[in-house]
Chains A and B, each alone.
Chain A
Amino acid sequence: AQSVSQHNHHVILSEAASLELGCNYSYGGTVNLFWYVQYPGQHLQLLLKYFSGDPLVKGIKGFEAEFIKSKFSFNLRKPSVQWSDTAEYFCAVNAKTSYDKVIFGPGTSLSVIP
């Protein structure tokens, strides 16, 4: 069965600081990987996704993530965070099988201090 772990439960940064959120998954086969963001009181929105090809993927709002297959990792990065990045971030995975059950990690709460 697939599972996703996220390294940090809560991260607090000052504006302009660099961000890296860790994500590891467990599944022996080929996977699709996602990062979703949930702003306070809102629904989940896709930040970026990896299906195949270049392991460094770029998403919206200056976010990027790198897939390292040997480490089963898909860490999210942003060089300079803004107050508006305050949100909950979820890493997710689904196996490349006929049925695309998407499993989410527990989430990392990011607070950016102005």
Chain B
Amino acid sequence: DAGVIQSPRHEVTEMGQEVTLRCKPISGHNSLFWYRQTMMRGLELLIYFNNNVPIDDSGMPEDRFSAKMPNASFSTLKIQPSEPRDSAVYFCASSTGGGTLNTEAFFGQGTRLTVV
């Protein structure tokens, strides 16, 4: 398996623009996580899905952020409008969760977002 695939790897955008980050989880995994990593705040869990359903989105910073998982093999994290403070590395991870008690998360390579 190719692992968790994220795109793009790097994104530079202007403040106010819409940004969409994409993630393809490992085939057969039914839990998907979006994390944000910054120097100041470390690794923050933004949202996670189980069987395509959002289970906990309490980490989503504000309404400008939204995430979807239309099917088992694809998820998006959208920021609209983007702001410079959104600059970070965004990681997607997946696992065989949801009723399976012993799981581990596999991470993608991340998307480095810079908002200027």
Interface residues of A (CB under 8 A from B): 32, 34, 36, 42-46, 49, 51-52, 90, 92, 94, 96-107
Distance in Å: Cβ of B19 to nearest Cβ of chain A: 19
Q: For the complex, what is the distance from the CA of A98 to the CA of B98, rounded to whole Å? A: 5
The smallest C-beta distance from B41 to any residue of chain A, in angstroms, reads 9
Confirm or deny: B28 has a beta carbon within 8 angstroms of a beta carbon on chain A. Answer: no
Residues in chain B near residue A34, CB distance under 8 A? 104-105
Please list 24 pairs of residues, one from A and one from B, whose beta carbons are closer than 8 Å in the complex, sorted by A's number.
A32-B101, A43-B107, A43-B109, A44-B91, A44-B93, A45-B107, A46-B104, A46-B106, A51-B102, A90-B43, A99-B48, A99-B55, A100-B31, A100-B100, A100-B101, A101-B33, A101-B45, A101-B56, A102-B33, A102-B105, A103-B45, A104-B42, A106-B42, A107-B42
Main secondary structure of the interface of B (DSSP, over half): strand
* Binary per-residue interface labels of chain B (16-47) against chain A in the complex, 1 for a CB within 8 Å, 0 otherwise: 00000000000000010101000000110100
The reply to whether the CB of B50 lies closer than 8 angstroms to some CB of chain A is: yes
Q: Which listed residue (B42, B48, B101, B107) contacts A101, Cβ 8 A?
A: B48
Query: Does B80 interact with chain A (Cβ within 8 Å)?
Result: no
B102-116 residues with Cβ-Cβ distance < 8 A to A are 102-110
Chain A residues within 8 Å of B33, by CB: 101-102
Within 61-116 of B, Cβ neighbours of A (below 8 Å) are at 91, 93, 95, 97-110
Q: How many A-B residue pairs lie within 8 Å, measured between CB atoms?
A: 65
Q: Given A32-B102, A104-B42, A106-B42, does the pair A99, B50 have CB atoms closer than 8 Å? A: yes
In the complex, what distance in Å separates the CA atom of A21 from the CA atom of B42? 17
Top 6 closest pairs, chain A to chain B, by CB:
A100-B97, A51-B102, A104-B43, A44-B107, A106-B42, A43-B107
Closest Cβ neighbor of B95 among chain A residues:
A100
| Least distance between B28 CB and chain A CB atoms (Å) | 15
Most chain A CB atoms below 10 A, which of B50, B99, B102: B102
16 additional A-B pairs beyond A44-B91, A97-B101, A101-B45, beta carbons within 8 Å, are: A32-B101, A32-B103, A32-B104, A45-B107, A46-B104, A90-B43, A98-B99, A99-B31, A99-B48, A99-B97, A100-B100, A100-B101, A101-B33, A104-B35, A104-B42, A104-B43
